């Protein structure tokens, strides 16, 4: 039986004037899959991700996210996805529980649901004593874990993680990945970009973008076989070094 | 003479609510011509340490010297002799690439021509954009310009605070290649990073966590301190496998590492047989186990728990 597809993209393209940021990309992501979306700075990852999140209209091609069309149903897409990036995720001058309440509200949860979710989430993250702490006073690792948990507070079909884990110690980074595994086991699809190549190896499948195209897409083990490499780092370097484009 | 000496440096920051101990008595020294890595997560104290050594921040106590000059008494001499690339992009955004480089050369009473050899290879990569304003450069190009500006007065010690944060794997690799070429010119380089895999590119490293050094050694030396056997395991259901191993009372730690989990036991005998039995009982398919050498991340995590 074919698995349910949470993302489908067919010849998806975005041009800015004469510049083709995303060049004819085609791929599917299955329900519950952890999908790594890799590429050097400037390869077109962010543009592709913005189209899939319903924030940017494609120039041509088709795509659906959680069953909704990226051209016509971008409002429904926004309601059915979660998003987290390291650059922006939580409000620093709101407390832990205020952030949960705020995002719960934004994602359309009812008051009683928010109450239940808040209790669950605080317990899961061992933050019961920190409920009234301003987010700015939390250590970076806790912020990242909280931001991820809040991004899936409405049980979305899919969550987009844009470089979620920079700068934390190796134990905290792994605790974060445990949360990702748990969410995936619950059926939430994970779409993640990262500069850590060992994290790429945690993904079920990864795609590697070069100059706006997807030049490789497979399970990490298969990619290593195809490129006769011993790590994803080597695979990435082989592909990304072919890039003509430079910069962000 | 050592290029850098740090002795029992303590730095605390007082906020309204509490006192943050950024550096809790840090001591180490760096040899001339070394690439010395300060490796640790955000908040470990790396930037405080760099700011003290570059004379823009005063320690509460302890002492430090750069090229034999005291960071407090002789700060002026130090400022002439060092190059400093802060973590945050700190060039003039509304000056062009060339204007920034000229500005820094002039401040240090030199010219681009005088030390062009040193920056030539890096500068040539951004030269096609020399009339572009620095604020309009891509991340990779900004980083190259900042490095040129930190080098243009031919410093004897170069301080690079997290130069590769947020930079993709290809640019990171290129940046490290540049550093190794600078080392050949006799420049001492102190570089901080949160990427553990960059430790292997340094001559020696200091692992830092919560204001304390966990270890100062060559990468090999750090790894040789890891005493217990380390096992790499994999199976078809990795998450379930991790939980099963973690629940075992004989297991000290189990962490995901790429395609494998790394497992350390509390005691030494028959670990392999034990893991194989665990896999059999848990009905794990495609189970593999092998003994492996630890890497710097294994060591960092083990030291963090001590």
Give the per-residue pLDDT at A2. Answer: 66
- pLDDT (tens digit, 9 = 90+) per residue, B184-197? 999 999 999 988 88
Give the per-residue pLDDT at B155. Answer: 96
Whether the CB of B268 is below 8 Å from some CB of chain A: the reply is no
- pLDDT (tens digit, 9 = 90+) per residue, B108-145? 999 999 999 999 999 998 999 999 999 998 878 888 99
- Domain ranges in chain A are 5-240
Tell which wins on pLDDT, A177 or B159. Answer: B159
Q: Which helix (H) or strand (E) holds A191?
A: strand A189-193
CATH 3.30.70.20 fits B230-305, yes or no: no
- Whether B256 and A202 lie within 8 Å, measured CB to CB: yes
- In angstroms, the first-to-last Cα distance of chain B is 34
Query: Which residues of B are less than 8 Å from A141 in CB distance?
Result: 41
User: B288: which strand partners?
Assistant: B234
Q: In the numeric block, which tokens belong to residue B226?
A: 């890891």
- A60 to chain B, closest Cα gap in Å: 27
User: Which of B17, B140, B259 faces A41 most closely, judged by CB atoms?
Assistant: B140
- pLDDT (tens digit, 9 = 90+) per residue, A61-86? 999 999 999 999 999 999 999 999 87
Tell which wins on pLDDT, B257 or B23. Answer: B23
Q: Which helix (H) or strand (E) holds B114?
A: none
- Whether B239 and A181 lie within 8 Å, measured CB to CB: yes
Q: Which CATH number fits domain B4-224: 1.20.1290.10, 3.40.50.300, 3.40.50.620, 3.40.50.1000?
A: 3.40.50.300
- Whether B169 and A197 lie within 8 Å, measured CB to CB: yes
Query: Which residues of B are less than 8 Å from A236 in CB distance?
Result: 169-170
- Domain ranges in chain B are 4-224, 230-305
Positive or negative: CA dihedral B4, B9, B13, B17:
positive
Over range B52-66, report the average pLDDT: 97
Q: State chain A's mean pLDDT as an integer.
A: 92
Residue A248 has pLDDT above 70, yes or no: no
Query: Which residues of A are less than 8 Å from B297 in CB distance?
Result: 170
Residue B268 has pLDDT above 80, yes or no: no
- Whether B139 and A41 lie within 8 Å, measured CB to CB: yes
Tell me how far CA of residue B221 lies from CA of A96, B93, B206, B253, B296, in angstroms.
42, 42, 11, 22, 10
Over range A6-13, report the average pLDDT: 97
Give the per-residue pLDDT at B2. Answer: 95
Q: How confident is the model at residue A1 (pLDDT cuts 50, 70, 90)?
A: low
Positive or negative: CA dihedral A118, A120, A125, A130:
positive
Residue B89 has pLDDT above 70, yes or no: yes
Percentage of chain B modeled with pLDDT above 90? 82
Q: State chain B's mean pLDDT as an integer.
A: 93
Residue B207 has pLDDT above 90, yes or no: yes
Give the per-residue pLDDT at A247. Answer: 53
Give the per-residue pLDDT at B93. Answer: 94
Give the per-residue pLDDT at A241. Answer: 86
SS3 of residue A65 by DSSP:
strand
Beta strands in chain B (DSSP E): 4-14, 19-30, 35-39, 61-66, 69-70, 82-85, 157-161, 188-193, 204-209, 212-217, 230-234, 251-257, 260-265, 288-292
Query: Which residues of A are less than 8 Å from B171 in CB distance?
Result: 40-41
Over range A144-159, report the average pLDDT: 95
Q: Give the chain A residue whose CA is nearest to the CA of B304.
A: A171
The length of chain A in residues reads: 248
Is A23 within 8 Å of A44 (Cβ atoms)?
yes
ipTM above 0.90, yes or no: no
- Whether B140 and A243 lie within 8 Å, measured CB to CB: no
Over range A40-63, report the average pLDDT: 93
- Whether B141 and A139 lie within 8 Å, measured CB to CB: no
Give the per-residue pLDDT at A69. Answer: 97
Q: Give the chain B residue whose CA is nearest to the CA of A240.
A: B170
φ, ψ of residue A166 in degrees (nearest 5): -60, 145
Whether the CB of A140 is below 8 Å from some CB of chain B: the reply is yes
Over range B209-218, report the average pLDDT: 96
Tell the CATH topology of A5-240.
Rossmann fold (3.40.50)
- pLDDT (tens digit, 9 = 90+) per residue, A87-101? 768 999 999 999 999
User: Which of B139, B165, B257 faces A167 most closely, judged by CB atoms?
Assistant: B165
* Alpha-helix residue ranges (DSSP H) falling in chain A: 45-52, 74-80, 96-106, 111-124, 140-151, 170-185, 197-200, 220-226, 232-240
Give the per-residue pLDDT at B16. Answer: 78
Interface size between A and B, measured as CB pairs under 8 A: 101
User: Which of B169, B242, B300 faces A195 most closely, judged by CB atoms?
Assistant: B169
Query: Which residues of A are less than 8 Å from B173 in CB distance?
Result: 237
Tell which wins on pLDDT, A165 or B218. Answer: B218
């Amino acid at each position: 039986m074919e698995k349910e597809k949470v993302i489908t993209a067919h010849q998806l393209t975005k041009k800015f004037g004469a510049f083709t940021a995303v060049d004819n990309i085609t791929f599917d992501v299955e329900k519950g899959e952890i999908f790594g979306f890799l590429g050097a700075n400037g390869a077109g990852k962010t543009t592709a991700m913005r189209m899939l999140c319903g924030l940017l209209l494609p120039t041509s091609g088709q795509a659906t996210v959680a069953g909704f069309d990226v051209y016509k149903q971008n409002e429904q897409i926004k309601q059915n996805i979660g998003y987290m990036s390291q650059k922006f995720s939580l409000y620093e001058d709101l407390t832990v529980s205020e952030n949960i309440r705020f995002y719960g509200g934004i994602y359309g949860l009812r008051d009683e649901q928010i109450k239940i979710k808040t209790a669950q989430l605080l317990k899961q993250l061992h933050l019961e004593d920190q409920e009234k702490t301003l987010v700015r006073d939390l250590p970076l690792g806790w912020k990242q874990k909280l931001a991820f948990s809040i991004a899936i507070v409405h049980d979305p079909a899919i969550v987009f993680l844009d470089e979620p884990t920079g700068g934390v110690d190796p134990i905290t980074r792994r605790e974060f990945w445990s949360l990702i595994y748990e969410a995936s086991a619950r059926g939430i699809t994970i779409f993640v970009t990262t500069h850590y190549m060992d994290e790429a190896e945690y993904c079920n499948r990864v795609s590697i973008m070069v100059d706006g195209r997807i030049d490789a897409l497979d399970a990490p083990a298969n990619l290593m076989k195809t490129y006769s490499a011993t790590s994803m780092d080597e695979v990435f370097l082989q592909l990304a070094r072919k890039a003509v484009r430079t910069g962000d | 003479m050592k290029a850098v000496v740090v002795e029992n440096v303590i730095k605390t920051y007082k906020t309204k609510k509490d006192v943050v101990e950024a550096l809790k008595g840090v001591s180490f020294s760096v040899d001339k011509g070394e690439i010395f890595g300060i490796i640790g997560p955000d908040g470990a104290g790396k930037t405080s340490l760099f700011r003290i050594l570059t004379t823009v921040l005063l320690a509460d106590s302890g002492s430090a010297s750069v090229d034999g000059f005291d960071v407090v008494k002789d700060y002026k001499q130090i400022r002439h002799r060092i190059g400093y690339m802060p973590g945050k992009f700190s060039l003039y955004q509304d000056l062009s690439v060339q204007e920034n480089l000229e500005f820094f050369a002039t401040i240090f009473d030199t010219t681009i021509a005088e030390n062009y050899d040193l920056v030539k290879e890096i500068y040539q990569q951004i030269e096609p954009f020399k009339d572009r304003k620095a604020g309009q450069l891509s991340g990779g190009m900004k980083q190259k310009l900042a490095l040129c500006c930190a080098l243009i007065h031919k410093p004897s010690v170069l301080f690079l605070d997290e130069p590769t944060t947020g930079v993709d794997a290809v640019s990171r690799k290129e940046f490290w290649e540049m550093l190794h070429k600078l080392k050949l010119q006799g420049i001492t380089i102190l570089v901080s990073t949160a990427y553990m895999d960059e430790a292997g590119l340094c001559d020696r490293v200091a692992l830092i966590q919560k204001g304390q050094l966990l270890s100062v050694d060559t990468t090999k030396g750090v790894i040789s301190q890891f005493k217990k056997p380390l096992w790499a395991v994999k199976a078809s259901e990795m998450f379930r496998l991790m939980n099963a191993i973690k629940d075992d009372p004989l297991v000290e730690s189990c962490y995901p590492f790429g395609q494998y989990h790394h497992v350390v036991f509390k005691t030494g005998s028959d670990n392999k047989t034990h893991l194989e039995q665990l896999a059999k009982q848990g009905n794990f398919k495609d189970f593999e186990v092998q003994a492996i050498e630890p890497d710097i991340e294994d060591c960092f995590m083990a030291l963090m728990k001590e």
